[in-house]
Every structure is written in structure tokens, then in C-alpha cells.
């Protein structure tokens, strides 16, 4: 049996290679199918990793109160007409809420930072001493500013790892003065390195200032949001409570709608899952479609191959080939075409995934690769079955007569 | 010993509602080591008879015993096995696999007979040497003359040491010199103990045989011993 297997392998190999172009063209659908299924998997697993990383920076136990919903479908003018989030909300919430463990106001704008000759544009954040509790990043050097420094408008700043690298390199930045929009600030701390959020923008190039100083020096305008930390096991209750506290602050009547938004990382997750479903759905659809097209192509070419080799089949039968042996021969050929196509597809995907890896972490999953090869083999068997069966059941005399 | 016994064999085709009796009540016994020529006009059923004897075709009615066994009762795989081990076919149009070398063409019956590679190569080489193609083993069919191709086909037919060689107009596509060489090989095989059955139109080819039967419209019209054994 093994002998015959090897023989069939050689027959099929020579047949496939004798018709290289035809075989490849036929199997194009399979190639596309394998590329799409592996790329889909690679894309999703890459996105998953990126998403998980990014989401870990936003705490699950943090509520973000602001004017707009992250994934809302409100018109921009409707949002614009909502009242601002005001600094005094911080204390009001702290007094009224029993779930709020930390409340940090956050304002943000672009600014130019410089140290000596070096200069860079970046985002600066104005916040209070609670801020560190509402983010997952740690201080790696120095310290965060205190309540007193905030209240007194001290010109101190905590910088991101990116700024530290750019300005100080290996030097100790603590105690050094940098200029933010030409105003001197003393560096008191450095944040841990983080990378890029959702692979889009770096959060390492930032400077955090006490909101007191921020407001005094930069405009009081601009949007403020609140980051509120609540106990991890009381998210729902916290959300309800903060919502009613905000409604109370805003003096809303029961029949009035909220004129503020409370966002959660969940909103990201929901949207992300929708995106994932879309990628998965599209990928599966393309895969199935191309496999069907490819399978039909292979079936067609196998019918042609059987027809072309009718006489050969007759001869083989005359010298002692059984039906099973002929079936095996053609089935092997169909599987071989699909297998080669699968391997080509895999190679293409692999190259793609290396390129993709430059944008976000994406590695081709070994299981997915194995699966896609198995899938090609299955398509080969399925599409080769009918032509092979026909070949096996050809009448030897008719085949020998065949011109 | 009787190798082949055909008893009242009919092969009837239905073409457009009309009955074609390719074989019309054939009774024939062939003994071991006979050298038989089948002659007759075109369409008389010679090839049909050959295919019947070679277990490629099944009769519409009648009884065929091969080495005493009922051929009708065998399944496809058993028939394939008989063709592989007991019968060697030689065709008018050679029917070699075009992409395979002479050596490989001759090996194919051995592959179906599940014979190991080393053994196979030895047997195939020996068969090719026997037909005088020692120096053409690795040529492909299109690199060989017609006579050489037919010799490869004969090597393929005899490689499994079958008892019977069936040759349907083996010289039909060859010039007379090549034809004579082929007949020489068949004569030798007969001398070595094989049973040879061949179809031919030509009297001088038929003269190699020791027994000639003539077919006409699917019936045997003449059965004569030409030479005594
Ligand atoms: N598959 C078939 N369907 C219908 N009729 C057939 C079929 N095969 C053979 N025949 C008929 O059977 C008869 C015998 O055919 P066969 O091939 O045995 O003739 P032959 O004696 O070998 O002729 P030739 O010398 O030309 O090779 C012919 O009349 C042919 O038309
Ligand atoms: Mg004929």
C-alpha cells in the first residue's frame, strides 16, 4: 500500500508540475482562501493583543465623566450645547458619593516643551493629586505632586518616558527645569514607559501638571473630564450613583435627559467586539467563497485531467490497477494541487504578517496555519472525490478505445 | 491443462435499438503453452474476444472459466489481480505512459503487484534485456522507434511472468522488419512456456502461430492446427 502511495505521489507530482500554470490558476481560490483565513486570524489575534494592552491602561474600575459619549451617535452641536464639566464638581462628587475612591479632573492641550536647545511638541495634562489612582501607569522616578502643590499652583511637572528620553537621556531629570510654552517647570517625576495606545499614538510623550498651575498659566477654557475611580466589584452601583450625583449637581428634573456622559472601557470593548465580528464575518465569508470557487476549479480541472488521461486509465486497468488504486491516484492529485496552493497561501500570509507586525503585534498562529493546511486538504478531497470516482469506474475497454 | 474455456459466450451491444452481436455463441478452449492466432475481417469481434479472454470485458451470457475458475463470479479487484498476475497485454498502439521511461513503464504492473523497489528494478531490467532493450532503459517512449516501443510494451506484458500474453495486432503499426523482430520475441516467449494469443490480419504473422481460428460476425468459422506441437 505504501508503495502505491509513493507511486501515486510521483504520478500526481509529475502531473501537477507538467501543468504548472493550469494547476496554480485552478488553485487560486484555495490560495486566496488560505490567505484570508490566516490573515483574518492573524489580524484578530494582533488586534486582541493591542486591544488588551491598551485597555489595561484604562482601568476597568474607572468612570470617565465628560460632555460626550465615546461611541455615541449624537450630533456634534447637541454635544456642544451641553454644559461644561466644571472643576468644582470634583469636591461635590467627593462629598456626595460613597463609591468614588478618587476623583481627578483632567484638562488637556497641545504645548511645546523645551530643555536647553531641545524642543518638542506634545500633549500636556492638568489634573489633581488623585490622578495617579485613576491610571494604571506607575511613577518610575521621583514622585507625583501633592494636594498642596496643586492648590498653591506650584510649577512642577511629571513627564512621560518619551520626554525624559528625548531631553535627558541617561541623565537624572529630577529637579531639572524644563519650559512648557516658555514657562519654567520643575521635573519631579517620570512615568513608566507605555508604548502606543491602540497602536495609534504614543502616550509616552506627555507632561502632567497640577491643574492649579495649568489653569493659571494656560486657559481655563478647554474641555475638562473627570476620571472617577470606584471599587471594582461595585461598577454598576457606582455608575448609578455617579449618574444621580451628576444629575443633582446639574439640577436636572426626573423627566430631563442626562446632559453629560459617563464612559467606561466597556464601551470600547463593545465596539471592539463589533469590529472583531465584522472582520471575522468578512474573513469567513471571503474564505468560504474562495474555497468554494477554488474547490469547483479543482474539481473542474480534475475532470479535465481524467478526460485527458482516459487512455492511460484504460492501460493501467488492463495491467492490473484496481478501482481503488485509480481512485487514489486522482484523489492524490487533487489533494496535492490544494496542498501546494495551501502552502503558497501560507507563505503569502506569512510575508503579510511580517509586514503587518510593523504596525501592530501580529504573529501567525501555528494552529491556524495547521488548520488552513488541513482545510486545503479537505477541499482537495471533497473536490477530487467525484472526478476520481468517475476515473475509477471508467470501463477499461471504452477507455482503451478513447481517442 | 486447459487454461481458458469459453462456453457459449455472447457479447451483445445495443446500438440505437439495434442488436450488434460482437460475439455470437463462442465455444473455445485454449491449453497451456498454445500459440494461437485469431484472424478475421474488421468488425468480426477479434478485439472483443481478446478483451473477454483478458478479463477486461464480461460476456452478455455464457460461461468463462479461467484456470478452472468462473470469471463471472469474480469481483472487480479479483479481475484486476488476474490481469496483473496472469495476463500480459500488448496493444497495437503500444499504450505506454508517455512521461515515464521505458524502465518505469515496465515497472508499473509490479507496482500494482506490490513488489518492492529493489526487486522491481531488477525484474524490469531483466524484462527489458530479454526484449533487447538493454541500452534504452531510461528513454521515454517519444525517444524510441515504433518497434522499440512495442518491445517495451512486451517487456511490460511479460515482466510479471504471466502465463498468457495477449497481443491485439502487435505488428499492426510497425514496418515488416520491426514486425518480424516482435514476432521473434513472441516466438521465444512461446518456447519458454508462455501461452500466446494474438490477433492479426496478416497471414505471414499468423504463420508464427500453431493454431489459427477465424472469426466472422462474432462466430468461429474455422479452427485449424497449422503446426503440430
Ligand atoms: N462499445 C461498443 N458498442 C457497440 N458496438 C460495439 C462496441 N464495441 C464493439 N462493438 C461492435 O462489435 C463488433 C466487433 O468489434 P471488434 O472491435 O471486436 O472488431 P475487430 O474484429 O477487432 O475489428 P478490427 O479488425 O477493425 O479491430 C463491431 O461490429 C463493433 O462495431
Ligand atoms: Mg480490433
Q: How far is CA A316 from the centre of its chain?
A: 55
Answer yes or no: is pLDDT of A27 > 70: yes
B161 touches chain A (CB under 8 A): no
Query: Sorting pLDDT into bands at 50, 70 and 90, what band is A193?
Result: confident
Tell me the β-bridge partners of B211: B36, B225
Residue A67, Cβ neighbours under 10 Å: how many?
18
Tell me the β-bridge partners of A119: A114
Q: What DSSP line would sit under A239-277, residue for residue?
A: HHHHHHHHHHHHT--TTSPPSSEEE-HHHHHHHHHHHHH
| pLDDT higher at A17 or B115 | B115
Task: Choose the residue to mutate in B26, B46, B170 for probing ligand 1, maximizing ligand atoms within 8 Å of C-beta.
Answer: B46
Contact between A341 and A347 (Cβ < 8 Å) = no
Per-residue model confidence (pLDDT) at position A197: 67
Which residues in A lie closer than 8 A to residue B88 (C-beta atoms)?
319
Percent of chain A past pLDDT 70, that is, above it, reads 97
A398 touches chain B (CB under 8 A): no
Same domain, A373 and A276: yes
The phi and psi torsions of A176 (rounded to 5 degrees) equal -75, 155
Q: Do B56 and A317 touch (CB under 8 A)?
A: yes
B77 touches chain A (CB under 8 A): yes
Record the cell numbers describing residue A198, joined without a space: 491602540
Contact between A215 and A86 (Cβ < 8 Å) = no
C-alpha distances (whole Å) from A364 to each of A286, B2, B131 are: 19, 69, 58
Q: Do B54 and A318 touch (CB under 8 A)?
A: yes
SS3 A395: coil
- Rounded to the nearest angstrom, the minimum Cα separation between A291 and chain B is 31
Per-residue model confidence (pLDDT) at position A399: 93
B132 torsion bin: left (phi>0), alpha (psi -120 to 50), beta (else): left
Residue A65, Cβ neighbours under 10 Å: how many?
22
Which residues in B lie closer than 8 A to residue A312 (C-beta atoms)?
97
Question: What is the average pLDDT across B170-195?
Answer: 93
| pLDDT higher at A60 or B38 | B38
pLDDT in tens, B72-95: 999 999 999 999 999 999 999 999
SS3 A144: coil
Q: What's the domain count of chain A?
A: 2
Tell me the β-bridge partners of A187: A157
- Rounded to the nearest angstrom, the minimum Cα separation between A314 and chain B is 9
pLDDT in tens, A88-139: 899 899 898 989 899 999 999 889 999 988 899 988 999 999 999 888 888 9
Least confident stretch, A63-72, A121-130, A144-153, B181-190: A63-72
Q: Do A324 and B114 touch (CB under 8 A)?
A: no
Q: How far is CA B106 from the centre of its chain?
A: 15
Q: Strands of B87-90's sheet, edge to edge?
A: B87-90, B164-168, B195-199, B35-39, B211-216, B219-225
Which residues, including other chains, have CB under 8 Å from residue A289's CB and lie 6 or more apart? none
Q: Do A320 and B99 touch (CB under 8 A)?
A: no
DSSP alpha helix (H) spans, A58-179:
76-80, 89-96, 131-134, 147-151, 161-168
Answer yes or no: is pLDDT of A146 > 60: yes
Domain's final residue, options A264, A284, A314: A264
Answer yes or no: is pLDDT of A72 > 80: no
Answer yes or no: is pLDDT of A318 > 60: yes
Task: Look at strands B18-31 and A139-142 and give their pairing.
Answer: unpaired
- Rounded to the nearest angstrom, the minimum Cα separation between B226 and chain A is 30
Q: Do A315 and B84 touch (CB under 8 A)?
A: no
Ligand 1 mean position to B151 CA, how many Å? 26
Q: Atom of ligand 1 at shortest distance to CA of B45? A: 18
Question: What is the average pLDDT across B52-56?
Answer: 94
Mutate to test the interface with A, among B22, B56, B81, B121 (most CBs of A within 10 A): B56
Contact between B52 and B61 (Cβ < 8 Å) = no
Task: Look at strands B18-31 and B2-15 and give their pairing.
Answer: antiparallel
Instruction: Please give the Cα distance from A334 to A170 (Å, whole number).
Output: 62
Answer yes or no: is pLDDT of B40 > 70: yes
Domain's final residue, options A246, A264, A282: A264
Q: Do A3 and B111 touch (CB under 8 A)?
A: yes
Per-residue model confidence (pLDDT) at position B95: 92
Contact between A164 and A189 (Cβ < 8 Å) = no
Three-state SS across chain B?
Answer: CEEEEEEEEEEEEEECCEEEEEEEEEEEEEECCCEEEEECCCCCCHHHHHHHHCCCCCCCEEEEEECCEEHHHCCHHHHHHHHHHCEEEECCCCCCCCCCCHHHHHHHHHHHCCCCHHHHHHHHHHHHHHCCCHHHCCCCHHHCCHHHHHHHHHHHHHCCCCCEEEEECCCCCCCHHHHHHHHHHHHHHHHCCCEEEEECCCHHHHCCCCEEEEEECCEEEEEEECCCC
- List the single residue in B with minimal CA-CA distance to A12: B99
SS3 A382: helix
Per-residue model confidence (pLDDT) at position A9: 82
C-alpha distances (whole Å) from A6 to each of A3, A10, A15, A327, A332 are: 5, 6, 14, 14, 10
Q: Do B81 and A320 touch (CB under 8 A)?
A: yes
Question: What is the average pLDDT across B90-117?
Answer: 92
Burial label, A201 (beta-carbon count in 10 A; 0-12, 13-18, 19+):
exposed
Q: Atom of ligand 1 at shortest distance to CA of B49? A: 18
Residue among A312, A320, A400 whose CB faces B84 most closely: A320
B21 touches chain A (CB under 8 A): no
Ligand 1 mean position to B11 CA, how many Å? 10
Same domain, A216 and A358: no
- Rounded to the nearest angstrom, the minimum Cα separation between B71 and chain A is 15
pLDDT in tens, A362-383: 778 888 899 999 999 999 999 9
Residue among A325, A396, A397 whose CB faces B112 most closely: A325
Give me the torsion for CA of A103, A107, A112, A115, rounded to 10°.
-20
Whole-number average pLDDT of chain A: 87
Question: In the block, which residue shows the cell 480541472?
Answer: A301
Per-residue model confidence (pLDDT) at position A222: 74
Q: By C-alpha distance, which of B163, B170, B159, B156 is closest to B198? A: B170
B80 touches chain A (CB under 8 A): yes
Assigned CATH topology for domain B33-62+73-225: Rossmann fold (3.40.50)
Question: What is the average pLDDT across B142-163?
Answer: 92
Same domain, A42 and A69: no
Which residues in B lie closer than 8 A to residue A3 (C-beta atoms)?
111, 114-117
Mutate to test the interface with B, among A5, A312, A318 (most CBs of B within 10 A): A318
Per-residue model confidence (pLDDT) at position A220: 67
Q: Do A317 and B83 touch (CB under 8 A)?
A: yes
Per-residue model confidence (pLDDT) at position A198: 62
Record the cell numbers describing residue A352, joined without a space: 503579510
Domain span at residue A258? Answer: 62-264
Domain's final residue, options A208, A243, A264: A264
Task: Choose the residue to mutate in B19, B37, B39, B44 for probing ligand 1, maximizing ligand atoms within 8 Å of C-beta.
Answer: B44
Question: In the block, which residue shows the cell 513503464?
Answer: B105
Amino acid at each position: 500500500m505504501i508503495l502505491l502511495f509513493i507511486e501515486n505521489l510521483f504520478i500526481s507530482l509529475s502531473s501537477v508540475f507538467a501543468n504548472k500554470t493550469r494547476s496554480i490558476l485552478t488553485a487560486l481560490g484555495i490560495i486566496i482562501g488560505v490567505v484570508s483565513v490566516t490573515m483574518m486570524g492573524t489580524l484578530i489575534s494582533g488586534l486582541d493583543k493591542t486591544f488588551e494592552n491598551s485597555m489595561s491602561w484604562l482601568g476597568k474600575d474607572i468612570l470617565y465623566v465628560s460632555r460626550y459619549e465615546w461611541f455615541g451617535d449624537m450630533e456634534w452641536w447637541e454635544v456642544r450645547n451641553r454644559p461644561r464639566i466644571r472643576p468644582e464638581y470634583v469636591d461635590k462628587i467627593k462629598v456626595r458619593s460613597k463609591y468614588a475612591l478618587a476623583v481627578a479632573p483632567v484638562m488637556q492641550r497641545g504645548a511645546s516643551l523645551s530643555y536647553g536647545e531641545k524642543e518638542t511638541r506634545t500633549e500636556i495634562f492638568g489634573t489633581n493629586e488623585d490622578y495617579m489612582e485613576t491610571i494604571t501607569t506607575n511613577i518610575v522616578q521621583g514622585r507625583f505632586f501633592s494636594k498642596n502643590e496643586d492648590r498653591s499652583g506650584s510649577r512642577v511637572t511629571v513627564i512621560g518616558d518619551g520626554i525624559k528620553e528625548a531631553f535627558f537621556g541617561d541623565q537624572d531629570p529630577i529637579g531639572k527645569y524644563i519650559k512648557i510654552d516658555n514657562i519654567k517647570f520643575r521635573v519631579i517625576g517620570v512615568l513608566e514607559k507605555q508604548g502606543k495606545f491602540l497602536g495609534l499614538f504614543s502616550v509616552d510623550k506627555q507632561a502632567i501638571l497640577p491643574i492649579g498651575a495649568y489653569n493659571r498659566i494656560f486657559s481655563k477654557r478647554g474641555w475638562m473630564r473627570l476620571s472617577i475611580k470606584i471599587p471594582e466589584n461595585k461598577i454598576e452601583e457606582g455608575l448609578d450613583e455617579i449618574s444621580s450625583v451628576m444629575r443633582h449637581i446639574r439640577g436636572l428634573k426626573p423627566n430631563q435627559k442626562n446632559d453629560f456622559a459617563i464612559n467606561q472601557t466597556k464601551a470600547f470593548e463593545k465596539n471592539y467586539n463589533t469590529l472583531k465580528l465584522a472582520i471575522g464575518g468578512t474573513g469567513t465569508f471571503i474564505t468560504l467563497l474562495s474555497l468554494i470557487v477554488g474547490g469547483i476549479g479543482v474539481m473542474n480541472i480534475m475532470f479535465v485531467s481524467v478526460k485527458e488521461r482516459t487512455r492511460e486509465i484504460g492501460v493501467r486497468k488492463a495491467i492490473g490497477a484496481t478501482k481503488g488504486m485509480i481512485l487514489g491516484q486522482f484523489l492524490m492529485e487533487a489533494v496535492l494541487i490544494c496542498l501546494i496552493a495551501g502552502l503558497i497561501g501560507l507563505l503569502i500570509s506569512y510575508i503579510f504578517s511580517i509586514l503587518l507586525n510593523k504596525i501592530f503585534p501580529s504573529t501567525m498562529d501555528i494552529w491556524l496555519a495547521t488548520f488552513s493546511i488541513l482545510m486545503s486538504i479537505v477541499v482537495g478531497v471533497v473536490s477530487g472525490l467525484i472526478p476520481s470516482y468517475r476515473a475509477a469506474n471508467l470501463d477499461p475497454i471504452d477507455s482503451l478505445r478513447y481517442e | 491443462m486447459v487454461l481458458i474455456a469459453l462456453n457459449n459466450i455472447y457479447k451483445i451491444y445495443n446500438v440505437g435499438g439495434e442488436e450488434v452481436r460482437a460475439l455470437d455463441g463462442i465455444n473455445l478452449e485454449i491449453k497451456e503453452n498454445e500459440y494461437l492466432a485469431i484472424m478475421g475481417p474488421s468488425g468480426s469481434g477479434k478485439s472483443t474476444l481478446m478483451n473477454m479472454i483478458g478479463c477486461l470485458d464480461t460476456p452478455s451470457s455464457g460461461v468463462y472459466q479461467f484456470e478452472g475458475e468462473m470469471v463471472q463470479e469474480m469481483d472487480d479487484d479479483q479481475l484486476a489481480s488476474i490481469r496483473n498476475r496472469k495476463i500480459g497485454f500488448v496493444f497495437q498502439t503500444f499504450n505506454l505512459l508517455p512521461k515515464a521511461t521505458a524502465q518505469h513503464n515496465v515497472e508499473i504492473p509490479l507496482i500494482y503487484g506490490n513488489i518492492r523497489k529493489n526487486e522491481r528494478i531488477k525484474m524490469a531490467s531483466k524484462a527489458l534485456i530479454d526484449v533487447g532493450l538493454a541500452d534504452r532503459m531510461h528513454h521515454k517512449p517519444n525517444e524510441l522507434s515504433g518497434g522499440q516501443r512495442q518491445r517495451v510494451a512486451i517487456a511490460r506484458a511479460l515482466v510479471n511472468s504471466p502465463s498468457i500474453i495477449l497481443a491485439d495486432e502487435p505488428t499492426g503499426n510497425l514496418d515488416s522488419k520491426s514486425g518480424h523482430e516482435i514476432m521473434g520475441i513472441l516466438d521465444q516467449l512461446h518456447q519458454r512456456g508462455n501461452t500466446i494469443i494474438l490477433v492479426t490480419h496478416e497471414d505471414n504473422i499468423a504463420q508464427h502461430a500453431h493454431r489459427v481460428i477465424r472469426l466472422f460476425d462474432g462466430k468461429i468459422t474455422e479452427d485449424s492446427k497449422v503446426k503440430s506441437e
